[in-house]
A and B are shown apart, each in its own frame.
Chain A
Amino acid sequence: MTNKENFLKGIFKENPLFVALLGMCPSLAVTTSVENAIGMTIAVIFVLVLSNFIISLIMSNSKLAELVKPVRIPVYIVVIATLVTLVEMLMHAYLISLYKSLGIFIPLIVVNCIILGRAEAFAADNKPKDAVIDGMGMALGFGFAIIIVSVFREFLGTGLLTVWKSIQLDLNFIFDFLNISPIGMFTAPAGAFITLGFILAVLAAAQTKKQANKAKGVKSNV
């Protein structure tokens, strides 16, 4: 696998949220605004890239890997929990409003399946450089997915798009033009499930159509 393929697989082919359906809990909870989704993405990039790098570094030393193997899951958890606590402290100190907004979902990154999954499935068996590229791709794929969900939820629920702090797009004129109000349900948990369900349905339909076209092409060639 080339570096480019390794990087892009996390964004498209093996997208953690839209394809593997991993990390659903924070994805549904923090996507009430685009700002929250961006903040969560930054935190996940930091944790996933560094955890993949450190775990790959430990496991690429054959003597150390042999000793770590029987206790590898606790080792992964110690590394991931340390990185998440670092993110939490730094965010609390330097981005306090985002820290308050993300709340409990920052410490919960520790138990995010994507982080532990990539550590066990990829970083432990690959070189540090490949593990970093994989981590970056997967984190960006996760971020890309939650930002898409948050754009729909915030726009439909409030008529706004809060990109960062005071950088906010007011799109309420669209609702005014349609003579309706924003649908508050989209910022509630039910709205998260409905939005993700629609996005997954559209992606599945597109995939089915692509496969049907492919099969048609093969048939006509025959």
Chain B
Amino acid sequence: MKNKGLISGLVLLSLGLICGVLLAFVNELTVDRIAAEELRLKFAAIKEFYDIDDFAREEVLLDEGSIFVLKNKNTSEIEHLVYSLSAKGYGDDVEMLVAVNRDLTVEGYTVTYQNESPGIGTKIVDNDFNYNEADDLSDFDSISGATVSSSAVRNIFEQVKNRVEDDFGGDLDDE
């Protein structure tokens, strides 16, 4: 048969098109649910720190993550900021939530995603890094033996430290 190679290529192209259409269809079906599930997970994590139903809340998107702004329902003043940020870890990016109060005290932090080495880097989950004031990292405690994972956590805290005062000071209105 003449042009057999071309016809084989066209068969492959057709199969690719069918598969592409199928994937686009399933993506369309699942995209909203995926976004809702991701948000649900984040809200579930934020509930560890604050009763979010007591606040008016909005999400500010950043290049490197997002900030959940919890405002007083009556005065619309920012009461708390919850940073959802990531930094490069050992196995993959480490994602964390860092909750900061208006007086710049750190309410808490939690790792929402990590793929660090089991038994070594995974110690960052539920570890106390001694980060109590959002603008002060001088007492930061690393985990010995998990240098890269600890650095990822410190990097996230530094991102918070570098912007938290401005964010409470009104810079978020410009984002």
Contacts and interface: CB of A to CB of B under 8 A. Distances in A.
A74 interface: yes
Contacts of B65: none
A75 B16 CA distance: 8
Interface string B1-16: 0001101110110011
Interface in B1-49: 4-5, 7-9, 11-12, 15-16, 19, 22-23, 26-27, 30, 33-34, 37-38, 41
B127 to A, nearest CB: 15
Given A89-B26, A96-B41, A68 B34 contact: no
Nearest to A96: B37
A67 B4 contact: yes
Instruction: Determine chain B's interface SS by DSSP, over half rule.
Output: helix
A157 B19 CA distance: 42
Contact of A86 (B4, B26, B34, B120): B26
Contacts of A69: 8
B8 A70 contact: yes
Nearest to A92: B34
Contact of B33 (A74, A82, A94): A94
A184 B27 CA distance: 39
Interface residues of A, number: 30
B30 A188 contact: no
Given A75-B15, A104-B92, A104-B115, A92 B30 contact: yes
Contact of B27 (A70, A81, A89, A100): A89
Contacts of A79: 15, 19
A36 to B, nearest CB: 11
Given A92-B37, A93-B37, A71 B11 contact: yes
Given A78-B16, A89-B27, A188-B119, A67 B11 contact: yes
A78 B26 contact: no
Given A71-B12, A78-B12, A94-B33, A187 B118 contact: yes
A71 B14 CA distance: 13
B117 interface: yes
A185 interface: yes
Contact of B119 (A74, A81, A96, A187): A187
A56 interface: no
A71 B9 contact: yes
Nearest to B35: A93
Given A70-B8, A188-B118, A96 B16 contact: no
Interface of A: 32, 64, 67-71, 74-75, 78-79, 81-82, 85-86, 89-90, 92-94, 96, 100, 103-104, 157, 184-185, 187-189
14 contacts: A32-B118, A67-B4, A74-B12, A75-B15, A81-B19, A96-B34, A96-B37, A96-B38, A100-B113, A104-B92, A157-B119, A187-B118, A188-B117, A189-B118
